[in-house]
Every structure is written in structure tokens, then in C-alpha cells.
Amino acid sequence: MHLVQGQPPMHPHRCGVLPQLVNVAVDPNTRYVDTDIDHDILGGLRERLYVSETAVKEMARVLGHPTNAEHIRVLAENEALKTEIADLREEMKEYDRRFQAIDILESADFRARRKVGRPKSTPTQKAA
């Protein structure tokens, strides 16, 4: 198999899967997969089987494969998630560093002083 750009060179010069796309064959940007498969038809003629890019995309859609646009969207989403994961890992490292500092202080019997100001209210004070 190989790729053919523009109109296929051998008879029938069109897509064998979607033959109704005859007008597409005129477009020089249309690509075809040349399957290298020849069929004998009446009168001793041989026809080459070509599959247009449009037919390949349609077959992929029917089989459940993502379109180019969906693939590009997923790649962009994947890159955004990778960036978010990297940011969260950095944040996690900072929190780990803080927790390690707290563990060091607690292991040295350090006790935090109470903050200056109003004492916390107890449930009995709230009811009154």
C-alpha cells in the first residue's frame, strides 16, 4: 500500500469505497490509499482499488475512532492536566516541608503559646 496525491493514475480513477465522491477526484489535494489490489472486470479490463482519505475517515468514525479535532482537544487537555499535576506536586512538596518542620518542633517538646486576645467561647457561654 502507498499514498497517492490527486487523481489516482489507474482505472477507475476514483475511490472504491465511496465511488459517489467522483467530484473529489478532481481536487489535487485529495489523497488516496493505493491498495495495490487489482480486480478483473468484464472485457478483460483491470481495476485498481483506491480508498480516498474521506472514506478512511468515515470508516474510522464508524469504528469509533476519534476525529482529528477530538484528538487535538484531548492532547490539549492532557497537556493542561500535566501542568496541573506538576503544580500540585510542587504544592505538595511545600506542604511536606511544613509538616516536617512541625514534626521537628513537636519532637522537641515545643508547645505553641496561646494567642493573645479573647478566649474561645465554650458551649455554655453560647447558650447564655
Quick one: average pLDDT of 78-104? 92
* pTM of structure: 0.52
Quick one: average pLDDT of 77-83? 98
Give the whole-angstrom CA distance, residue 101 versus residue 82. Answer: 29
Q: Distance of alpha carbon 40 from its chain centroid, rounded? A: 43
Question: What's the N-to-C CA distance of the chain in angstroms?
Answer: 88
- What's the angle, vertex CA 96, arms to CA 93 and CA 98, rounded to 5? 115
Reading the block at residue 21, the C-alpha cell is 465522491
Report CA-CA distances (Å) from 60 to 36, 65, 66, 101: 21, 5, 8, 56
For residues 95 and 37, which has the higher predicted lDDT (pLDDT)? 95
Domain ranges across the chain: 2-62, 66-110
Give the whole-angstrom CA distance, residue 61 versus residue 59. Answer: 5
Element (H, E) at 52: strand 46-52
Give pLDDT tens digits for 61-73.
Answer: 999 999 989 999 9
